[in-house]
Amino acid sequence: MKPVTCFLIFFLSIVIIAKAQVKLRDTIKVPDIVDVGCFDIELKKPYFSGGQKAFSIYLSKNLKYPKVAQLIGIKGKVIIEFTVNKKGKIIEPHALNCIGAGCESEAEKVFLKSPIWRPGTIHGVPVSVSYSLPISFIIENLSVKFKDLKASDYGFVFNIKDTLYTLYEAEKIIGKTFNSNRIKIAIPFFNYNKIEKFDMPDKKEVYLVIFKKDEAKKANYLQAINFQSLPKL
């Protein structure tokens, strides 16, 4: 497994801290004067103590690349919407999209634990202000080995052309390795139908790995040639 580097974007600044590069870009456009009816409202936006650079450093030190995302090479951009309330505390951070493998919950958690901001004000009166920020999880493309997945503390179920397979079945269809950029998303899997072959009580968590369409077509083609006898659900 190659070493992981986590990248984030904060506004347009770049700060290198420890072994992580933090980049965050503010996506909200809040004018200094907000027109409400016939009145002009003077809005001062929330401010993190130390400014953009300090918040970048905070994220760099506290954001962790989820283990499952590292293992299977999940990467992408998670957009977090959050509110800086009247007391300067970040509340209700939530992801507006999903790339899977725990990236959303990790991003939400690091925002929720943020130190206090200076709250936004209107004519000097504290107000709550909402923001949305994209956080990019970037990892080098990996050649994911099924043997590494088998040896991990996590379980995996594979969705290939709308059919679910165990890790061992997927290995027969795909081969011993696959490129991580073929994965569309990896989400928690709950065996609601109590299918015995998908029960993995010895694993910390079980994830459903969904491939992109091109990978699904490739896997289906290989299955048709070599593994026609493989049972489906």
Listing DSSP states for the chain in one string gives -PPP--EEEBTTB-EEETTEEEEE-------SEEEETTEEEEEE--EETTHHHHHHHHHHHH----HHHHHHT--EEEEEEEEE-TTS-EEEEEESS--BTTHHHHHHHHHHTPPPEEPEEETTEEE-EEEEEEEEE-----EEEHHHHHHSSSEEEEEETTEEEEHHHHHHHH-SEEEGGGEEEEEE---TT--GGG--TTSS-EEEEEE-HHHHHHHHHHHHHH-TT----
65 within domain boundaries? yes
| Residue 198 tokens, joined | 């998908």
Measuring CA to CA, how many Å separate 75 from each of 1, 6, 170, 173?
Answer: 15, 10, 22, 24
Express as a percent the part of the chain with pLDDT over 70. Answer: 74
Contacts of 75 (CB under 8 A, 6+ apart): 69, 99, 136, 137, 138, 139, 180
Q: What is the domain-level CATH number for residue 127?
A: 3.30.2420.10
pLDDT at 164: 93
Would strands 20-24 and 7-9 be described as parallel, antiparallel, or unpaired? parallel
pLDDT at 75: 86
Domain housing 175:
143-226
Q: Based on the structure, what is the number of domains in the chain?
A: 2
In this predicted model, what pLDDT tens digit does every residue of 4-35 receive, in sequence order?
A: 444 343 332 222 222 333 344 433 344 333 34
2 within domain boundaries? no
* 91 pLDDT above the threshold of 90: yes
Whether residues 162 and 204 share a domain: the answer is yes
Give the mean pLDDT of 155-180. Answer: 91
Whether residues 131 and 154 share a domain: the answer is no
Boundary of a domain, candidates 119, 137, 155 = 137
Measuring CA to CA, how many Å separate 181 from each of 41, 144, 163, 186?
Answer: 47, 10, 20, 12
pLDDT at 93: 93
Whether residues 97 and 155 share a domain: the answer is no
Least confident of 97-106, 160-169, 186-195, 224-233: 224-233
pLDDT at 112: 93
Whether residues 130 and 39 share a domain: the answer is yes
* Predicted confidence band of residue 41 (pLDDT cuts 50, 70, 90): low
> With left for phi above 0 and alpha for psi between -120 and 50, is residue 104 left, alpha or beta?
alpha
* 233 pLDDT above the threshold of 60: no
Whether residues 168 and 100 share a domain: the answer is no
Boundary of a domain, candidates 137, 165, 182 = 137
Give the mean pLDDT of 106-113. Answer: 92
Give the mean pLDDT of 108-117. Answer: 93
* Predicted confidence band of residue 2 (pLDDT cuts 50, 70, 90): very low
Size of the chain, expressed as the number of residues it contains: 233
* Predicted confidence band of residue 58 (pLDDT cuts 50, 70, 90): confident
Express as a percent the part of the chain with pLDDT over 90. Answer: 39
pLDDT at 15: 27
Whether residues 74 and 39 share a domain: the answer is yes
